Structure 1
Amino acid sequence: MAQIPMDGTGPQVDSPQIAGNIANWAGAIVSLGLLIGAGVWGYKLLVRDVTGVPVVRAIEGPMREQPIDPGGTQAAHQGLSVNGVAAEGTAAAPADRLVLAPAPIELNENDAPSGATQIAAAPVVTEEPTIEAPAPIAAPAALDTSNVDAVIGQLVGDAEPLGEVAPVTEPAPEVTPVVAKEGLGTSLRPKLRPAQRSQPIAAATPEAKPLEVAAESLPAGTRLVQLGAYASPEIARAEWDKLQTKFGDYLGDKQRVVQKATSGGRTFYRLRAMGFADLSDARRLCSSLKAENADCIPVVTR
């Protein structure tokens, strides 16, 4: 006989066992469904109609067939039918009948030009012209070669002897002397060279520019380049000489400017160069000096 606990409750079912049963029943149902689906699919595969599968079939009839009209069909757009494309949008039908060009017309004598008619109407002379026979030439009488004078007289006949022919002389052309209306009676003679030669004229030399220009005399807007700032004007001029020695090819025609300036209670002297056509000329000089590690700044006087 089963024992009943003192609290009065009966035996309880374990919950994990119930979950396992539910999973087993679900797996069984799914397996049964798969088995039924496989059976149905296999049955349809066996009883399907294979004639319904699309198959490429050969064309019925001969591969080549002779055309009804071996010469081909006429094109739809012939003659003037293409004019209907612009008017109606589609080409007109081909012409029903074909008209050939007329035969060439032969001209008769009445259709000939007026000039040809006149020529044709002119009478044609068929008679041969009468040619008169020339008079017979009498044969010369026999010459008696034994007597030369008689032969010459017979040959000459009534010819008159020629007189003496005077020689023809052409008159000499008249030469008219040319007399100068204007001229010198006697030719000029060059003057004698003086004993003392003249001194050669010295070539004009351009006016030399001053080496240094006062800063106060420069107008506003003058293009300059600043080469440095120094404690005294003597140091600035000495630095100019050094720059001339090192960069004489660039500063050869430039003028020196020493300008006094004050900044922050200190007085210094700026060393500048003048003689530039425009700002581009000043920048070119600074580019050349900076390439040699020298200080150079383009500036403008104010």
Structure 2
Amino acid sequence: MTTATANHQQASLMDLFLGPTPMWYKQAVIAALVLNVPAYFILGPLVTSWIILFEFIFTLAMALKCFPLQPGGLLALQVLALGLTDTYHVYEEVLHGLPVILLVIFMVAGVHFLREMLFKFINKVLLGIKSRVLMNFATVVVVAILSAFLDALTILAVLIALATTFYLVYERVITKAGHEPGLPSDDSHIDEIHLQDLEDFRGYLRGLLMHGAVATAIGGVSTLVGEPENIVIGAHTGWDFVTFFLVNAPATMPTLVSGLIMCSCWRGFGPLVSFLAMALNYQKTYELC
């Protein structure tokens, strides 16, 4: 009875540690925290610092498995406990990154309150345009402008949520079993008559997200608040919003125009790819002859 109780308590502690993350991830974090201590005494502070840095990068890479704040915070506390840095340098780095932290906190919160309005606005743009070329061009223009005055990654997250909603609604309509939890990950629950339409719709959403991703990049790099790193650059150089835009305009504006042209012509939506397709067809015909 005592052994069963101890096993139950141990299982409960492991369930509480890092929340609903895979067990192998929890074990990897615990192993890293345990092995860092002998590594500090055997390999020295320099090598141990590099090891912890790679472990922190691992937590960032596994962000889909577990939010990196928890395991990364444990590694940061261990760095302080081992004496690899001191609280003064930690305070300096936090103070150095405070503008970025405030930007992310308040910009994400602001976009959260504007989410419904952004959803309706982007919906109007996407559903009101019938031409594929105009739709791609309008997507890039709208998302680039929003990314220039709001946080680019937050706008991309809104676009991903919108595309996910579109897909769920479409799948709910064409599925045989109805929209229920636990549906298979393949297309076995889809009628064969709708499979090609579903694949075309997936391609449409992929193109929409790729255009949106490019737009957030070319729009966010143009202004002081578009990307978090722009705040760091502006703080070091003393540039305000207008100065940052004017100084970087010789590089960012040609990039913006080039991105608009490329996104309008690429992926079979313009004359460039039509010309390439015609050239490939001509080459295949020539080889057959």
User: Scaled by the length of structure 2, what TM-score is found?
Assistant: 0.15
Which one has the bigger helix percentage?
Answer: 2
TM-score normalised over the length of structure 1:
0.15
Name the structure where strand makes up a greater proportion of residues: 1
Q: Report which of the two structures shows the higher radius of gyration computed on alpha carbons.
A: 1
Higher RCO (CA 8 Å, separation ≥ 6 residues): 2
